[in-house]
Amino acid sequence: MKKYVVLTGAGISAESGIKTFRDSGGLWENHDVQQVASPEGFQKDPKLVWQFYKDRFAQSLSVQPNAAHLALKKMEDKLQDNFHLITQNVDGLHSRAGSKRVLELHGSLSTAFCTVCRASHPLIELDLSCEIPSCKKCGNMLRPDIVWFGEIPYFLYEIEQLLKDCEVFIVIGTSGSVYPAAGFVMTAKLFGAHTIAVNLSRPDNLGFIDEMHQGHCTELLPPLVESMIGSL
């Protein structure tokens, strides 16, 4: 059985109602991204940053996984250890859809960690009425478990190994312009994988795509997955 690796971006969550990361003016929910998505922004105004992410967490809980998320869960059920999912999204919708083999490259809205002892805490267990939640272990300030600008994404070593070993690499709902994720398709292709993209628009890294499916993820992905797993 072939080894499949899937990379998802904002486009798959957008079809559940999650707003995409930022608009063309560099704003995210009317905030400059450096205010709410950088270590410097957090150091300058942790109350603002925490309010921003508490709002994003609430928004993520107000929407549901869509047909594309569920199709990937079905694919994982069929492929088991021959399937791995990398996501640039922080909304947790893949896990809520039932996916287990998920690497959250940019962290998760659902957790926070202590700025001193590094202990991790699920947001659902915190008192979010506090302007700045504190660590239950040492009492110091928590920060959202999000990879901000200037920080190193999670799981890069594990991802590198998956890209070298996979035989089919599928990119879903991503512009192909945000690195390092935008370079994953190139790595997979150079190591011999067949590369597939499902996206509303043509991605910036189209030159590394063998098979392009342009349109909505929720419409295109379920039949594509059915055809893939039906041939196994």
Q: How far is CA 196 from CA 13, 65, 178, 209, in A?
A: 19, 22, 18, 6
Residues 172 and 57 in one domain: no
Residues 129 and 201 in one domain: no
pLDDT in the model for residue 199: 95
Ramachandran bin of 80, using left for φ above 0, alpha for ψ from -120 to 50, beta for the remaining angles:
left
Q: Is the pLDDT of residue 16 over 90?
A: yes
The per-residue pLDDT for range 125-181, each reduced to its tens digit, is: 999 999 999 999 999 999 999 999 999 999 999 999 999 999 999 999 998 877 898
Residues 90 and 203 in one domain: yes
Residues 230 and 206 in one domain: yes
Q: What are phi and psi of 160, to 5 degrees?
A: -60, -45
- Bridge partners (DSSP) listed for residue 199: 214
Instruction: State how many domains the chain has.
Output: 2
Residue 167: domain span: 1-18+66-106+153-232
Residues 130 and 102 in one domain: no
Residues 177 and 137 in one domain: no
Q: How confident is the model at residue 107 (pLDDT cuts 50, 70, 90)?
A: very high
The per-residue pLDDT for range 164-175, each reduced to its tens digit, is: 999 999 999 998
Instruction: List the catalytic residues.
Output: 106
Q: Is the pLDDT of residue 24 over 50?
A: no
Residues 175 and 203 in one domain: yes
